[in-house]
Chain A
Amino acid sequence: MKPITVLLAEDHTVVREGLRALLEAEGDIRVVGEASTGRQAVVLAQKLTPNVVVMDIAMPLLNGLEATRQIRKILPDSKVLILSAHSEEVYIEQVLAMGAMGYLLKQTSAHVLSDAVRDVNQGKTFLCPTIQNRRRSAPVSARIPLSSRELEVLQLIAEGHANKQVAAELVISVKTVEKHRQRLMEKLNIHDTAGLTRHAIASGIIESSIHLTIT
């Protein structure tokens, strides 16, 4: 079987060499080139047309994000796997939007790097397990069983509706809504609206709490 060709773009020598060693240890992966700046990465990618480019975000001259955009433009078939120390969601959203196939947290990359290279090579999106875990993780309170009516009420409260609106939405009386709210608070041991909202976000009952408008 033809090995997966990889271009390693990483400005920190110790890291780059370490990663190279890890990848080389795998029989099905071959590192065909190394770059220490974004610009170099673009030039080498064009020259070597690797299957996968492993790209650090923070690099001098041209950062990994811009390099990714340029490589994707020149070589639409190449797969870019981003390496980053940042775990903020915006980074992940951004690099995925730019056409990267995967996002690895540097600090845990060593365990999963080769699996990630294989996945993205096959066209699968690969996100660092830590991030996926966090996306799925829920607070302890989320394990407390709530009735479906209570969940409905919780969601509406978390979405910022007043008791009256909740009552209208669920076609129940305001008094009943108050009763549900009371029970929710007792069960979850949370005693303010902000806390309920926090809980709803953390346990995935409501998705994004930021209402974003960009004109």
Chain B
Amino acid sequence: MRAKSKKPNPNPGLRECAESRIGSRPAGKRTHLDPKLPTPDRLIHELQVHQIELELQNTELREVRDRMERLLQKFTELYDFAPVGYFSLDEQGRIREVNLTGSVLLNVERSRLIGTRLARFIAPLSPPVFPIFLDRLISGAEKPTCEVILLKAGGRPFWANCHGAMAVELEESHKVYRVAVSDITAFKAAEDARRRLEFVTRTNRELKEEIVRRRAVEASLKASERNTTKLLRDSRRMQDMLRHLSRGVLQAQEEERKRISRELHDQITQTLVGIHVQLESLSREASTLPPKLRQRITQTQRLVEASVNIVREFARELRPSVLDDLGLIASLRSFLKEFTERSGIRVRFSTFAGLDQLKSDRRIVLYRVAQSALTNVFEHAKASQVSIDIQQEGEDIRMRITDDGQAFNVHQVLTDRHGKRLGILGMRERLEMVGGSLAITSHPGEGTTVLAKLPFHRITRPHAHPTS
């Protein structure tokens, strides 16, 4: 600021102010100023005024400077302690200026940041949006923003929000771009938490729906289980009924066989024998008869004999009378002898004398089981030897039939729906009917063993013909 003398005073207030101050100066030097006086006094006066003017201006300037300094300090404080980091970047993205918050954010001294590319602090995991942001900033886009993960020196990453601002001329021909960076980790975390909460809420809702759905499924499962249980129970009952029925059938069959066998034996055989005997009498009296007739009588007798044999064989197949007449040992012996003659398979038979005390209905069971087992041996096993061992074992009778032939797959045979089951079910059924059980083991190289067990129920009355 320069003082003006000859020129018209741009600040007329200043002169007035200076002139008023002359009057207040010490008296000795004060001269009453007559404007018309072109004297040295007048020149002195002018100089005094000018001096005062200068002093005034100086004071004013000092005050302005002080105010300026105060403002600058205020600005610096505002700039440095702003809640966001301010980065001024050049066109290459290098940091030209940074406030204190910025350097704190990155945990790097300000002086060391200058000249460094801000992109250096982008974490590798960050979304790759910073270069785009920078491009937009430089190309003058209006307020570009981006969210990136920055790495503090020392390694801790944080979410940062970058706001681009207008370009500013810093020096000649050097533009800088202001970027405000704020740490939004907390915000991000909150957002994450919110998102998680949302997710949890959604999951929760889905779970609830799932629970409802599952309950429905469970309910229907329970219903179907109840249904299945009922079906199972029904099927068991049916099975029991069937078993009962089949046992009934077996028993009835056995009784019926016995009855028919008896009938055949007592009625048919006897009648045929009667006819035979009558024919014999007739032919003896026949000395008076023509020889041709006698011959006819003899032929008829042969026919009758053949008929008796057929009927007898049939009756025997239905029910071996030996079983009732001579007991189990004798009938097994008879059966085994015939079996050997028919099959060529050698038989060993060991038992105990008390066996014939076995009740009649159990005798037939053991007999039939032995018959079935041996039929299997003959038809399937290709055995050369078979042994039957019947012994008392505590309160049970145990019959073991072992052959040295080919083994078979017991399970497969038992579960074969279509094929023959080798009469095993029949054997088992007969045994279970009288409280017994059946077990079959068959291993290649060891042949087959049929093991039958049943409680030893003895006949109550003394045996018809005890072996004494």
Verify A25–B281 contact, CB threshold 8 A.
yes
Is the CB–CB distance between A198 and B281 below 8 Å?
Answer: no
Q: Smallest CB–CB gap between B429 and chain A, Å?
A: 28
Residue B357, interface by CB 8 Å: no
B356 to A: closest C-beta gap in Å: 10
Q: Are B271 and A14 in contact (CB under 8 A)?
A: yes
Which of B305, B329, B346 is close to A209, meaning CB atoms less than 8 Å apart?
Answer: B346
Interface string of A192-208 (1 = CB under 8 A from B): 11111111011000001
B266 within 8 A of partner (CB): yes
In chain B, positions 310-354 with a C-beta closer than 8 Å to chain A are: 312, 316, 321-322, 325-326, 329-331, 333-334, 336-337, 340-353
| Bound: A63/B348 CA distance, A | 31
Contacts between the two chains (Cβ within 8 Å), count: 155
Task: Determine whether the beta carbon of A18 is less than 8 Å from that of B266.
Answer: no
* Residues of the B chain whose Cβ atoms lie less than 8 Å from the Cβ of A15: 270, 273-274, 277
Q: Is A213 an interface residue (CB 8 A)?
A: yes
Q: How many residues of A contact B (CB 8 A)?
A: 49
Write out the residue numbers on chain B whose beta carbons fall within 8 Å of the beta carbon of A194. 343-345, 384
- Per the bound structure, the CA–CA distance linking A214 and B274 in Å amounts to 39
Q: Which residues from B are CB-within-8-Å of A212? A: 333, 349-350
Contact between chains at B273 and A63 (CB < 8 Å): no
How far is A125 from B218 in the complex, measured between Cα atoms in Å?
A: 86
Task: Please give the distance in Å from A152's CB to the nearest CB on chain B.
Answer: 18
Residue of B269, B273, B334, B348 most packed against chain A (CB within 10 A):
B273
Provide the bound-state CA to CA distance between A58 and B268, in Å: 13
Query: Is residue A12 contacting chain B, with contact meaning CB distance below 8 A?
Result: yes
A sample of 10 cross-chain residue pairs with beta-carbon separation below 8 angstroms, ordered by A number, consists of A15-B270, A86-B322, A106-B276, A107-B304, A107-B309, A107-B312, A194-B344, A197-B340, A213-B351, A215-B351
Given A12-B266, A58-B321, A91-B325, 11 new contacts (CB under 8 A)? A12-B273, A18-B274, A89-B334, A94-B330, A106-B273, A107-B309, A108-B305, A110-B276, A159-B346, A201-B340, A214-B329
Going nearest first, the 4 A-B pairs with the smallest beta carbon separation are A18-B277, A14-B274, A198-B344, A110-B280
Instruction: List residues of chain B with CB under 8 Å of any chain A CB.
Output: 265-266, 269-281, 284, 301, 304-305, 308-309, 312, 316, 321-322, 325-326, 329-331, 333-334, 336-337, 340-353, 384-385, 464-465
